[in-house]
Amino acid sequence: MLNGFLEVASVNTFVCSICLEVFSEPVSTPCGHNFCKSCITEFWSRSEAKQCPLCNESFVSAPELRVNTEFRDILQLFKETSAAEGRGLPVHAGDVPCDLCCGAKSKAVKSCLGCLVSYCDAHLEPHHRVPALKWHTLVSPVESLEDRACRTHNKLKEFFCRTDQSCVCAACSRDDHAMHEVVSLEEELKQRKSQLLLMKVRVDQTLEEKSITAERIQNSIKQRRQKVKKDLPSIAAPTESKSFRPKTQTVLHENTVKMAVAQTEEVLSQQVEIMIREASLTELQEPGDPETDVVFHDELETIQQECMTTVSLDPSTAHPSLIVSEDRKRVMDGGSRRNVSDNSSRFDCLHYVLGNEGFSSGRFYFEVSVKGQTTWEVGVARDTINRKGVNLSLSPEHGCWTLGSYWGRCQVNSNPPVVLPGAPEKLGVFVDCDQRVVSFYDVDTRTLIYSFTKCTLSLDSPEDAGKRATSGRSLVERRIYVGTVTTNRIYPIFRPGSEETEAALWICPVRSSKRRK
């Protein structure tokens, strides 16, 4: 009889409507509906009105819950049959599947930190029955549990090494990290939440101060505008003795004053905008988000390992005052023009030098040491950048994406510039040509400084770029993947400091944190 019922019964028949999992200790309410004992007890403890979650029948007080023995037996048979047939809850989008189910996967209800396996309700049964398995820690289903295991010891990373800023397993904490500060993940999470809360308070205070300052400037603009409008009729009005002057001269004078007022308003408005931008940047950069720093640490690690590219300097593009080393990895400003041949590629007025390698697709990454430099600029530029005369704009609109330091003031050369709270000593530059992204990293702190997005790295139209799409290898052999190849290339661009006491700007080898250990 029970087997016949199971053949026609839906899986949802054995699912609690509160936790949406197979019943555990099913009990019945006076209205006849079944729930997990723990689910219905917790549901009523959180609500003042005692009513059935399904039919909303109200009760004066929490009614006595009774075990439906017949339904319990049917449920037990369902679990045994499901285990034998590999049948369980269906897997929907976002669910974690059972690792032991063959064929059609069932939804996992628990993940075991001891086995590193996710189980459906049927396959989880031995963990409730076998004494040796009862000691295992069961948690809510976790996707890709094996990816969170230590590859050396095949154990779950349950600890966090504060010295190396990485997750480790119990064996690693006793061996390689024995002399390091190691805490549980729960303790580290608790501390980082406290740090985030404190950081949020500081950021809110900073934003409030910036907002008050911006409001004060806006009020000053408003008062100045009103004063100028009030004084405008009496400014240098033509006297009776000079009545012979044409009226047009008076009109021109008034227009000049109005233009000056408009220009003043524009300048002040720009100052307000820059202050607001600085406030926003402060929110993002100071102090750093500990959890985000870990994400960027892992992201930079991947970029360093997969996208590092050999970059050298092209002496034929260097300004005559710049001295490029023999290995083409260092450049410094000699202070005076040297006698070098002129060519169309060389910067003749501004002290820049381009990289020797040009890129038009894929991804690439390089690192530059700017330690000891007070003024410098590093980034990438289109090959069409103007190299003659002083008319060189470092804005993205003119095909140049750079970050620079100017006597202690570090800024992103966007339009308008974005001032940064500090300057790095070693800068990582990452470019994804196909995703049109240029990012700068502080290698020492392993944090993202700034990212340009939707960069026009090529002057091609989308139609032309589509026609030149290729499935061949990238134009540079060390590139990672193949994307759209264009007729335009982008080149690394550098400007070292101009002081004689400054060290050389150095394109240094890329060393990931794993290789440093």
User: Which distant-in-sequence residues (6+ apart) come within 8 Å of 133 by Cβ?
Assistant: 114, 126, 127
**100 in a domain, yes or no?**
no
Same domain, 325 and 278: no
Q: What percent of the chain clears pLDDT 90, i.e. is strictly above it?
A: 18
Is residue 471 predicted with pLDDT exceeding 70? Answer: no
**354 versus 233: which is more confidently predicted?**
354
**346 in a domain, yes or no?**
yes
User: Where a domain ends, among 85, 112, 141?
Assistant: 85
**What is the pLDDT, as a whole number, of residue 82?**
59
**135 in a domain, yes or no?**
no
**129 in a domain, yes or no?**
no
Same domain, 307 and 425: yes
**143 versus 316: which is more confidently predicted?**
316
Same domain, 441 and 334: yes
Is residue 296 predicted with pLDDT exceeding 60? Answer: no
Average pLDDT of span 267-271: 56
**What is the pLDDT, as a whole number, of residue 9?**
46
**267 in a domain, yes or no?**
yes
Q: Are 413 and 404 in contact (CB under 8 A)?
A: yes
pLDDT by residue (tens digit) across 357-375? Answer: 999 889 999 999 998 888 8
Number of domains making up the chain: 3
Is residue 325 predicted with pLDDT exceeding 90? Answer: yes
CA nearest neighbour of 399 among 455, 360, 334: 455
Same domain, 374 and 424: yes
User: Which distant-in-sequence residues (6+ apart) come within 8 Å of 99 by Cβ?
Assistant: 108, 117, 118, 119
Same domain, 261 and 390: no
CATH of the domain at 463: 2.60.120.920
Same domain, 338 and 471: yes
Q: Are 457 and 436 in contact (CB under 8 A)?
A: yes
Is residue 509 predicted with pLDDT exceeding 60? Answer: yes
- H-only helix segments in 101-184: 121-129, 131-134, 170-174
Top-ranked range on mean pLDDT: pick from 57-66, 75-84, 282-291? 57-66
pLDDT by residue (tens digit) across 41-61? Answer: 888 888 777 888 888 888 888
**178 in a domain, yes or no?**
no
**What is the pLDDT, as a whole number, of residue 49?**
78
pLDDT grade for 352, boundaries at 50, 70 and 90: very high
